[in-house]
Amino acid sequence: MTPRPTLVQLSSGAAVRLIAGREISTRIRSKAFIWTTVALVAAVVLGGVLLSFVSKSDPTQHVGVTAETAAVADQLVATGKVTGATIETQEVASQAAGEALLKDGTLAALVTGTEPLTVVVHTKMPDALAPAFASLAQQEALSSAVTSLGGDPGEVGREIAQAAPDVTALEPEPEQDAAQIVAGFVAGILLFISLMTAGQLVAQGVVEEKSSRVVELLLATVRPWQLMAGKVLGIGVIGLSQVVLVVASGAGTALALGLVDTSSINLGVAALWVVIWFVIGFTMYALALGALAALVSRQEDVGSVTAPVMTLMMIPYIIGVSIAPWDPTNPLVVWLSYVPFCAPLLMPMRIALGEVEPWEVALALGLSLALIPVLVWLAGRIYSHAVLRSGGRIKLRDALTAS
C-alpha cells in the first residue's frame, strides 16, 4: 500500500502553495473579510451614485424678465459668462406671473425694471447671481450716459459684458477634470485601506500561530521561509481579490453613470496600475510586518512592534490625499513617489491624475522591485530566528544576529 504523502515529501513550491491554500480557505470564510469587502464595494458604488447626482444637478441660474426689461436679457447672459455664472433668461407674462415662478423655485430672480435696475427674489439674492447683477447695474448706468450722448446703449453694453483681458501664463497649471481628481483620491484611499488591512492580517496571523504553538507543528514539516512565503502569498491573494472586486465595482459604476471623460483618463489603465501597485506594496509591507510580528508572542504587543511600519504607511497616504489630487506636480509628491514603501501609495495617484511620465513609473517600479529580495532575506532571517522563541519581546538586533 502506497504511504500517504506528507509535507516533508513535497517540493518547496508545493509546500508554499499548500500553506497559501490554508490561509485562503481560512480567511475567505471570515465574516470580517466578507463584511469589509461588502462595505468597500458599497462605499465605492454609492459614492459613484452620489457623485453622479451632484455632477448632474443643474447649476444654471434661471432669471425672469418682463416685456419691459427683455432688452437686458442678452447683456445679463453675457455678464454671467464673465462672472462665472450660467444664466438662462425667460420672459414672463407679467410681474405677478414672475413672482409666482419665484415662489415655486422655477426662477432664481426676476428683473422688473432697468432705470434703475430692479430685481425681485424669493428670499435672498443667489450668490452666483450677485456679481452679474452688480455688473449689469453698472452697465445700465453707463447706458444711460451713452443714450444721453446719442449712442446705442445695447451695443455698448454687450461689448462691455464680453470684454475680458487676454492672459498668458508663463507656467500654466496642468488641466485636470473632476474625474481625474476623484480617481486619484479614490486610488489613494483604496490602496491605503487594502494594504493596511492585508498587512495587519499577516502580522496577526503570525502571532496567532506563535501564541497557540501551531507554528511548532508546522515547522516540524516545513521550513520557516516556506511558512512565511505561504502566509504572505495566501493573504496576498485574498487582499488582491478584494482590491480587484472593489476597483472593478468602482470602474463599472463610473462608466455606467458616465462619470468619466474617456478622453481625459483611461480608467482601465488606471485601475490596472492600482492592482499592480497593490501587489508590490503588499509584498513589501507584508514581509516587514510579518517579520516584526514574530518578535512578540501576544496579540496585545503586535501594535508596538509594527508601529514604525504603520507610520511609514501613513506618511505617503496623508501626503497623497491632502496634496496630490490638487497639486500632483508638487516636488514632495513627485520625489516620494519614487521611494519604496511610499511609491505604492503615491504613484497610482499620479498615474490616475495623468501627471507622470513612463520613465518615472519605470524608475519607481525598478526601485521597489529591487528592494523586495532584500526584504525577503531580512524577513526570512528575523522570522526563522524569532518565531519559535516565546516569552517576552525579542529584540530586533538579537533576531538578526542569532545564529
**Residue 387: count of CB within 10 angstroms of its CB:** 27
φ, ψ for residue 6 (rounded to 5)?
-110, 175
What is the CATH architecture assignment of 61-162? 3-Layer(aba) Sandwich (3.40)
Q: Give CA–CA dist 333/355, Å, rounded.
A: 11
pLDDT at 338: 94
* Global confidence as pTM: 0.66
- Distance set, CA 107 to CA 63, 92, 100, 163, 399 (Å): 6, 10, 9, 27, 74
**Which residue(s) pair with 118 in the sheet?**
113
φ, ψ for residue 307 (rounded to 5)?
-55, -45
pLDDT at 55: 56
pLDDT at 167: 47
| Residue 95, C-beta contacts closer than 8 angstroms, at least 6 positions apart | 66, 110, 112, 120
> What distance lies between CA 185 and its chain's CA centroid?
2
Q: Are 146 and 152 spatial neighbours (Cβ–Cβ below 8 Å)?
A: yes
pLDDT at 57: 52
Q: Which three cell numbers stand for residue 212?
A: 497557540
Q: Give CA–CA dist 1/246, Å, rounded.
A: 49
- The residue ranges of every structural domain in the chain are 13-52+176-401, 61-162
Q: Which three cell numbers stand for residue 177?
A: 477634470
**Residue 70: count of CB within 10 angstroms of its CB:** 14
**Residue 330: count of CB within 10 angstroms of its CB:** 14
- Distance set, CA 115 to CA 130, 143, 162, 329 (Å): 18, 10, 22, 51
Q: What single-letter amino acid sits at 340?
A: P
**Tens place of pLDDT per residue across the chain (403 aa):** 444 444 444 567 777 788 788 778 877 777 877 888 888 888 878 877 776 666 555 577 888 888 888 877 887 888 777 777 788 888 888 888 888 888 888 888 888 887 777 888 888 788 778 888 887 777 666 666 556 655 555 565 555 555 555 545 445 555 555 666 777 777 788 888 888 888 888 888 888 777 777 776 776 777 777 777 888 888 888 888 888 888 888 777 777 776 665 555 667 787 888 889 999 999 999 889 888 888 888 888 888 888 889 888 999 989 888 888 878 888 999 999 999 999 999 998 888 887 788 999 999 999 999 999 898 888 888 888 887 777 777 887 877 776 6
